C-alpha cells in the first residue's frame, strides 16, 4: 500500500446497512482503504466499528493497490479521452456550421439572386413569363417590316393600335435585351415609344414566339419619311431636337423617386431605327443591341460583360459605324464615354440625312432625292472593309452642298454641329445633350435672320 494526501470532503457514519463495499476492517486503528468513484477523481472509504474513521484527521488514508497500479495509465487515458472528445465536438460543430452556411448561400443564390446577372445592380429579373397585358386582347392585323432579328406587325390591344415585335426562339437574346432596356425605371419620354409589355405565346405552328408590344407610330421610320417628304427649317430643327433629346435621355443616368436609371447606349442608332410621329417629332426604337453602361462596365441581356473580352464592333449598321469602331480602337478603359461617342457619331449622319431634304437649305433649287450616308460614294450595300478605308483611313464624310453658304449664321451652326458630331477624334465630339441645345439655338438663329434681328450662336 502507498499513501497519498487528499482533501477531506466529508466524514460521518454510514447509515445504510445493506451497503458493504469497501468496509475492510473492524479495527479503529486500521487504515481506511480508499476506493475511486466518479471517474477516479473522488474516493471514499468505510469501515466497521465505533469511530473507525477517527484517524483521518490529517486527511490521510490508503489507496487500494488496484487503483495505484492503474493510476498513471488511467489518468493518461482520461486526459487523452477528454482531449479527443473536445476535438471531436469542436470539429463537428465547425463542420455543421460550414454545412449550414453553404446551404443558406445556395438557397440565397437560387432564390434571391438571378444566376445570369452577377454584380448587376440594375437587373430586373428573368424575362417575363406572363405579359403586362391580357394576351387574348392582342390581335395582329398586318406585317409592317421584317429583318434579321425579328418582324414587326401592326396590331390591336383591345381598341388601341400597337406595334408588335415578334422574335423567334433563335432571336430570344434580342427580345430579352430589349425587354430589359424597356423595363428600366424612367424610360418614359416623349422621344421613346410607349411600352405596353412583353410576353410569350405559341405560333400557329406550335413554335414559341416572344413579343414586345409598343406604341404604334403611323408615319413609319425616318428613312421612309425622308424618302417621300421634304422638310422646312423649323421641321428640320424639330426632328433634330427630338432625336437628340431621345438619345440624351438614353445616355443620362439619374435617380428619381428612389429609382435609378442607368446610362444606356443605343449601339444601332440610324434613320431606320427612328420613327416619325404625327407632330413630326422623332421617336427612338429598336433596343435589341442597346446596353446599360457604367464606367468600364456594361450589361447586355441582364448580364455584365467584360469590355476587354467583348468586341464592340460586332453590332450595329456598318454604314453608321464610327472610325474607332471600324478600326477596332474603342477605348475600353471607359466604355461608357466611348459608346456614347459612337452613338453621337451616328447622330451626326442622321442629321445630315435630314438636312439634305430641307428645302430652305437649297434656296429655291430642287431638293435632292433622299440618300443614305455614303450612298453616292459606296452604294447601297457597302462592306465593312470599304467603310473602314473610306471613313477611318481616308477620313471621309458625306459632303455638304456648295449652296449651304457660311454667310448664313444658322446654316453655319448646322454644319458645325454635324461636323462636331462626326469628328474623327471621338473625345472631341459633342454630347447628345449639347446637340439638343444647339437645335434650339438654330431655330432662334433662323427666325432672327428672317426678322433682321442679330443673334449670337452659343
Q: Supply the CATH number for residue 169's domain.
A: 3.30.200.20
Residue 76 lies in a domain: no
Residue 406 lies in a domain: yes
Annotate 61-88 with b (16+ C-beta within 10 A) or e (fewer).
Answer: bbbbeebeeeeeeeeeeeeeeeeeeeee
Q: Report the CATH number that the domain containing residue 417 is assigned in CATH.
A: 1.10.510.10
Bridge partners (DSSP) of residue 164 are 153, 213
Instruction: DSSP letter for 361, please.
Output: G
Verify that 200 and 255 share a domain, yes or no.
no
Catalytic site positions? 268
Non-local (6+) Cβ contacts of 286 within 8 A are 178, 268, 273
Verify that 379 and 443 share a domain, yes or no.
yes
Verify that 187 and 308 share a domain, yes or no.
no
User: Which residue, chain included where needed, has cell 458645325?
Assistant: 416
Non-local (6+) Cβ contacts of 4 within 8 A are 63
Verify that 175 and 26 share a domain, yes or no.
no
Residue 100 lies in a domain: no
Verify that 229 and 202 share a domain, yes or no.
no
DSSP notation for 96-141: HHHHHHHHHHHHHHHHTS-TT-TT-TT---SPPSS-SS-GGGEEEE
Q: Rounded to whole angstroms, how far apart are CA atoms 232 and 163?
A: 29
pLDDT in tens, 176-208: 999 999 999 999 999 999 999 999 988 888 889
Closest CA to 3 of 60, 58, 70: 60
Instruction: DSSP letter for 13, please.
Output: -
Verify that 300 and 440 share a domain, yes or no.
yes
Residue 71 lies in a domain: no
Verify that 204 and 323 share a domain, yes or no.
no
Residue 179 lies in a domain: yes
Verify that 211 and 226 share a domain, yes or no.
no
Work out the pLDDT band at 308, boundaries 50, 70, 90. Answer: low
Non-local (6+) Cβ contacts of 106 within 8 A are none
Verify that 311 and 427 share a domain, yes or no.
yes
DSSP notation for 281-347: -EEE---SS-EEEETTEEEETTEEE-GGGS-TTSSS-GGG--HHHHHT---GGGHHHHHHHHHHHHH
Last residue of a domain, one of 199, 215, 231: 215
Q: Rounded to whole angstroms, how far apart are CA atoms 29 and 177?
A: 101
Residue 112 lies in a domain: no
CB of 161 closer than 8 Å to CB of 169: no
Verify that 184 and 241 share a domain, yes or no.
no
CB of 276 closer than 8 Å to CB of 282: yes
Q: Rounded to whole angstroms, how far apart are CA atoms 313 and 327?
A: 9
Share of the chain above pLDDT 70, in %: 73
Verify that 244 and 191 share a domain, yes or no.
no
Query: Which pLDDT score is estimated for 68?
Result: 52
Q: Rounded to whole angstroms, how far apart are CA atoms 12 and 36?
A: 18
CB of 274 closer than 8 Å to CB of 284: yes
Non-local (6+) Cβ contacts of 173 within 8 A are 301
Work out the pLDDT band at 102, boundaries 50, 70, 90. Answer: confident
Query: Which pLDDT score is estimated for 62?
Result: 57
Q: Which stretch of 7-16, 314-323, 427-436 has the lowest confidence by average pLDDT?
A: 7-16
Q: How many CB atoms lie within 10 A of CB 113?
A: 13
- E strand spans, 22-125: 33-37, 42-44, 60-63
Query: Which pLDDT score is estimated for 361?
Result: 95
Q: Rounded to whole angstroms, how far apart are CA atoms 17 and 22?
A: 13
| Number of domains the chain is built from | 3
pLDDT in tens, 338-384: 999 999 999 999 999 999 999 999 988 999 999 999 999 999 999 99
Q: Rounded to whole angstroms, how far apart are CA atoms 342 and 421?
A: 9
Per the structure, the complete domain to which residue 145 belongs is given by 135-215
Last residue of a domain, one of 215, 246, 280: 215
CB of 304 closer than 8 Å to CB of 119: yes
Q: Rounded to whole angstroms, how far apart are CA atoms 161 and 177?
A: 24
Last residue of a domain, one of 170, 194, 215: 215
Q: What is the mean pLDDT of residues 63-88?
A: 56
CB of 351 closer than 8 Å to CB of 417: yes
CB of 27 closer than 8 Å to CB of 49: yes
Query: Which has more confidence, 33 or 293?
Result: 293
Query: Which pLDDT score is estimated for 311?
Result: 59
User: What cell does 352 get?
Assistant: 445630315
Residue 109 lies in a domain: no
Closest CA to 434 of 359, 348, 339: 348
Average pLDDT of the chain to the nearest whole number = 82
Q: Rounded to whole angstroms, how far apart are CA atoms 327 and 329?
A: 5
Residue 148 lies in a domain: yes
pLDDT in tens, 382-401: 999 999 999 999 999 999 99
Verify that 18 and 148 share a domain, yes or no.
no
Query: Which pLDDT score is estimated for 297?
Result: 72
Share of the chain above pLDDT 90, in %: 54
The pTM for the full model equals: 0.70
**Does the pLDDT at position 431 exceed 60?**
yes
Q: Classify 104 in phi/psi space as left (phi over 0), alpha (psi -120 to 50) or beta.
A: alpha
CB of 281 closer than 8 Å to CB of 439: no
Amino acid at each position: 500500500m502507498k499513501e497519498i494526501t487528499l482533501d477531506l470532503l466529508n466524514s460521518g457514519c454510514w447509515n445504510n446497512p445493506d451497503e458493504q463495499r469497501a468496509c475492510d476492517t473492524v479495527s479503529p486503528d486500521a487504515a481506511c482503504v480508499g476506493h475511486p468513484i466518479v471517474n477516479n477523481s473522488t474516493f471514499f472509504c468505510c469501515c466497521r466499528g465505533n469511530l473507525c474513521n477517527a484517524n483521518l484527521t490529517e486527511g490521510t488514508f490508503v489507496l487500494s493497490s488496484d487503483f495505484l497500479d492503474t493510476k498513471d495509465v488511467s489518468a493518461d487515458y482520461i486526459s487523452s479521452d477528454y482531449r479527443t472528445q473536445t476535438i471531436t465536438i469542436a470539429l463537428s460543430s465547425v463542420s455543421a456550421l460550414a454545412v449550414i452556411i453553404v446551404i443558406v448561400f445556395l438557397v440565397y443564390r437560387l432564390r434571391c439572386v438571378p444566376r445570369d446577372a452577377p454584380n448587376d445592380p440594375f437587373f430586373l429579373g428573368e424575362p417575363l413569363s406572363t405579359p403586362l397585358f391580357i394576351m387574348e386582347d392582342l390581335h395582329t392585323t398586318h406585317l409592317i417590316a421584317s429583318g434579321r432579328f425579328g418582324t414587326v406587325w401592326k396590331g390591336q390591344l383591345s381598341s388601341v393600335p400597337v406595334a408588335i415585335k415578334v422574335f423567334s426562339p433563335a432571336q430570344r437574346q434580342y427580345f430579352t435585351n430589349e425587354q430589359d432596356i424597356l423595363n428600366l425605371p424612367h424610360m418614359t419620354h416623349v422621344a421613346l415609344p410607349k411600352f405596353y409589355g412583353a410576353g410569350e405565346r405559341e405560333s400557329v405552328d406550335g413554335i414559341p414566339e416572344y413579343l414586345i408590344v409598343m406604341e404604334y407610330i403611323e408615319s413609319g421610320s425616318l428613312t421612309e419619311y425622308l424618302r417621300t417628304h421634304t422638310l422646312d427649317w423649323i421641321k428640320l430643327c424639330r426632328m433634330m431636337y427630338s432625336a437628340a433629346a431621345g438619345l440624351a435621355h438614353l445616355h443620362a443616368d439619374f435617380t428619381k423617386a428612389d429609382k435609378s436609371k442607368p446610362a444606356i447606349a443605343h449601339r444601332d442608332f440610324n434613320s431606320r431605327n427612328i420613327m416619325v410621329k404625327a407632330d413630326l417629332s422623332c421617336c427612338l426604337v429598336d433596343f435589341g443591341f442597346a446596353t446599360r453602361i457604367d464606367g468600364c462596365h456594361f450589361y447586355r441581356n441582364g448580364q455584365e460583360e467584360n469590355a476587354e473580352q467583348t468586341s464592340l464592333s460586332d453590332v450595329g449598321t456598318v454604314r453608321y459605324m464610327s472610325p474607332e469602331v471600324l478600326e477596332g480602337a474603342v477605348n475600353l478603359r471607359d466604355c461608357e464615354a466611348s459608346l456614347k461617342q459612337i452613338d453621337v457619331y451616328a447622330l451626326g449622319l442622321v442629321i445630315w440625312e435630314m438636312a439634305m431634304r430641307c428645302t430652305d437649305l437649297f434656296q429655291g433649287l430642287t431638293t435632292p432625292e433622299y440618300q443614305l450616308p455614303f450612298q453616292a460614294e459606296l452604294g447601297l450595300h457597302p462592306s465593312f472593309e470599304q467603310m473602314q478605308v473610306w471613313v477611318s483611313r481616308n477620313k471621309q464624310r458625306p459632303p455638304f452642298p456648295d449652296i449651304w453658304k457660311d454667310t448664313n449664321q444658322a446654316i453655319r451652326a448646322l454644319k458645325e454641329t454635324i461636323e462636331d458630331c462626326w469628328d474623327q477624334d471621338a473625345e472631341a465630339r459633342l454630347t447628345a445633350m449639347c446637340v439638343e441645345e444647339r437645335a434650339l439655338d438654330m431655330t432662334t438663329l433662323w427666325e432672327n435672320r428672317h426678322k433682321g434681328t442679330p443673334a449670337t450662336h452659343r
